[in-house]
Amino acid sequence: MVEIHLYGRLRQFIPDSRANEDTILYFDLDGECTLQELLSKLHLKTSDVGDCFINAILAEMNDQVRNDDSVGLFPFNMRLIDGGMHLKHHPNLMKIHATVVSKK
């Protein structure tokens, strides 16, 4: 089962979700799929999301998602807190480790 953390405007897809609480969706995959395929299964478009993380690593749409992975989805209008958006497309960096802090 994939644990999907939704942030910002993406929380609206979960009934009764609140901004001051974790919004987590659990999704059972049959095998594995790409992040883009997962978004499609969730009825989301790639234009709905901005930064996406798989197991706390900045992800690309063609990265594989497997059961037991943790996925973080941020909407297109949210930016990395540390201002690191320029790193996302840096030619020398393939992946950026990120820590997603959530209040429990």
Assess if residue 34 is contained within a domain: yes
CATH number at 69 reads 3.10.20.30
Q: Kindly tell me the number of DSSP H helices and DSSP E strands found in the chain.
A: 2, 7
What's the rounded Cα separation, in Å, for the pair 44 and 10? Answer: 9
Nearest to 12 by CA among 51, 44, 50: 44
20-46 tens-digit pLDDT: 888 999 999 988 999 999 999 999 999
Specify the pLDDT at position 18: 81
Assess if residue 93 is contained within a domain: no
Q: Which domain holds residue 45?
A: 2-88
Average pLDDT, the chain: 80
Assess if residue 80 is contained within a domain: yes
53-69 tens-digit pLDDT: 999 999 999 999 999 99
Specify the pLDDT at position 17: 83
Q: pLDDT band for 97, please (50, 70, 90 cuts).
A: very low
Half-sphere exposure of 56 (CA within 13 A, CB side): 6
Number of domains in the chain: 1
